[in-house]
Structure 1
Amino acid sequence: MNADIHDNRAWAEATPALSVLIPFLRDDPTDLLRQLDREAADLGGAVEVVLMDDGTGDAALTARLKQILGVLALPARLITLSANEGRARGRNRLTITGRGRAYLFLDSDMKPDTPRFLQTWIALMVERDPAVAFGGFSLDQAPADARFAVHRALSGASECLPASERAKQPEKYVYTSNLLVRRDVFAAETFDPGFSGWGWEDVEWAMRVSRRFEVVHLDNPATHMGLDTVEDLARKFDQGAGNFARVVALHPETVAAYPSYRAAKLLKRLPARSLLRRLTRQAARTGALPVKARAFALRLYRAAVYADAV
């Protein structure tokens, strides 16, 4: 696959300990880059940034990002792919470029919640050198638009949890939105390229890794700025059904404990799942209903979609 590679002036001489890996598709990571760069003076050259455009095909965006890299103090590289590689393959590719002894996978629509975000990660590496660590994410800075209310409700209830709660099921609460992985650990366990489309590749990876390495949880969150509408979430659930089936096939005992799996197995017995999907999707879209009711309807929709995959 064709790839255009652009480095800033700080890249060539850098000897980083940590490589921040940021894949994106049809997003503009400029705000994230600028915020990370504010820590450059306090990092002493310990951090580099590797961006990968996974096939957006936007020449204007590429040109703008090259200009941004030119003024960054952090060493940075931009990889622009001519076609989409996908979430798993793309992240595997990023690790080939990263030169640090650890990788920080950070989604392009994240916004660190503290001005010492990277410094906290470096301090953890120095103090504990963890195999895998997840910093968590929040909705503290996320848009409060009514069209995102259902996504806020879903994330707030099931994903935006403190480290003390996440640590009770360490492999379950691992997302590539804010994930530290030591280089040797990723060399032993890469993302499964058999996953395509949206979702589950990071959770499946964590299931494998947690059998061999400790997964640490800490409170060093970043806000998920890229909230979705109900329709966008429903489409992602549709796209993720095949990936969910793959996780079930690979890790049946682990997935059996997940509420989403239990709900899907229960709904599989129903003869009119297509009707249920239509009704729950419509209910989730209905703004006159309470947000909690709409969020429940969307969870039920997801379970009905997954029922066809289990």
Structure 2
Amino acid sequence: MTTRDEPLRDNAAWAAGVAELSILIPFKGDDPTPLLAALGREACDVELVVLDDGTGDETLAARVAEAVAALPFPARFVRLARNVGRAKGRNRLVAHARAGHFLFLDSDMLPDGRHFLRDWLDVVARQNPPVAFGGFSMHQTPLTPAHALHRAMASHSDCLTADCRARNPAKHVFTSNLLVRRDVFESEAFDEGFAGWGWEDVEWGMRVARRWPILHVDNTATHLGLDTASTMAAKYEQSAANFARVIAAHPAVVATYPSYRVAKVLKYAPLRGLWRPALKLYALLEGAPIKTRAFAMRLYRAALYVEAV
């Protein structure tokens, strides 16, 4: 079955009907088949929709179609001819979902537990949460010098236990491993005004937290797709406009963020055109101590956000 702009490929089980949980996975260039294979090892009451957001790679698409066909539960492969972006792509995924709860997973994730899906189904059955975040880890990520900076920064700020995340529930909401109840998403979809990389999931969490509680649980998945330092810097450079959009929508919340407070201080520092590039150069220097590189990269990100505060 196809629509004009969304060629679809369903596996044999798709016609079986509604499952308890819809797993929703977008990808753009990354290969989601290791994740599909890992999920496929759990034969439980779920369905899966994977969306190619305009990759344009026929070889990769063939591998994904083959992986979808092999899954033991209902699965659909959606291909977009052009990239629509992170927020709109996830909204498009929801349009294909049939269950009462959605589990958003990034395509470069890999479940840490053997009963990852069953554990999420247990959360749904016992607590029926409006929103829940399972957390992510670096447990299965290879140690490589090129990705050492990303590993250090993510381990410090993102790879947190449920108890730590629950102290500021809305701040730690990412689509890497996110459970959402259907009625919540029907009221609060992702803001399609975001472009490029960053902040669309955090902003969504801020909106949702005004109306519903956010549960944090320890049901982690590994983030395999660590970035090089240069890719991190490029993503931060893309994200400045998105950060400004979040400030406009949630000024009181963002004012509590360290990146905002540091950006406010740096706004009045002279000669920004000299020291901001120097921060980036140092952060990219693989031979420098990792802690000082991470500090430089955080300062560089805050310096980029100066224009938004």
**How far apart, CA to CA, are the structure 1 residues paired with 2:192 and 2:70?**
35
Whole-Å separation in 2 of the counterparts to 1:176 and 1:183: 15
Residues in 2 aligned to 1:239 and 1:136: alpha-carbon distance in whole angstroms: 25
> Hey, what does 2:34 align to over in structure 1?
31
Q: Distance in 2 between matches of 1:277 and 1:155?
A: 22
Indicate the percent of aligned positions where both proteins have the same amino acid: 54
Residue number among 20, 23, 34 corresponding to 1:20 in the alignment: 23
Deviation by residue 1:252-282 (Cα, 9 ceiling, x = unmatched): 0000000000011111111222222210111
| Partner Cα separation in structure 1 for residue 187 and residue 5 of structure 2 | 27
Q: C-alpha displacement at 1:14, in angstroms?
A: 3.0
Aligned partner of 2:252 in structure 1 is 253
| Aligned-partner Cα distance in 2 for 1:70–1:255 | 44
Q: 1:69 Cα shift?
A: 1.7
> What are structure 2's unaligned runs of at least 5 residues?
none
- Aligned mates of 1:278, 1:120 — CA distance in 2: 46
Distance across 2 between alignment mates of 1:299 and 1:246? 20
Q: Distance in 2 between matches of 1:190 and 1:273?
A: 37
Aligned pairs (5 A) from 1:168-247 = 168-247=167-246
User: Alpha-carbon deviation of 1:66?
Assistant: 1.2
- Please state how far the C-alpha of 1:2 moved relative to its aligned partner: 1.5
1:219 counterpart letter in structure 2: D
Q: Give the Cα–Cα distance (whole angstroms) in 2 for the partners of residues 276 and 291 of structure 1.
A: 19
CA contact (8 A) 1:19 1:49 kept: yes
| Matched letter for residue 29 of structure 1 | P
1:298 aligns with 2:301: no
Output one character per residue of 1:104-153: Cα deviation in whole Å (capped at 9) or x when no partner: 00000001001100000000000000000000000111121011000001
Matching residue of 1:307: 306
Structure 1 residue 79: deviation in Å? 0.3
Deviation at 1:75, TM superposition (A): 1.1
Q: What one-letter code is carried by the residue in structure 2 that aligns with 1:248?
A: I
Instruction: Give the distance between the partners of 1:275 and 1:2, measured in 2 at CA.
Output: 47
Structure 1 CA distance for aligned equivalents of residues 295 and 280 of structure 2: 10
Amino acid at match of 1:18: L
Deviates further, 274-283 or 224-233? 274-283
In 2, Cα distance between the equivalents of 1:275 and 1:140? 38
**What is the one-letter code of the residue matched to 2:220?**
P
SS of equivalent residue, structure 1 residue 49: strand
Q: Quote how far apart the aligned CAs of 1:246 are.
A: 0.4
Partner residue of 1:280? 279
RMSD of equivalent CA atoms: 0.8
Query: What TM-score comes out, normalization by structure 2 length?
Result: 0.98
2:296 aligned counterpart, secondary structure? helix
Could you list the runs of 4 or more consecutive aligned residues of structure 1 that deviate by over 4 angstroms after TM superposition? none
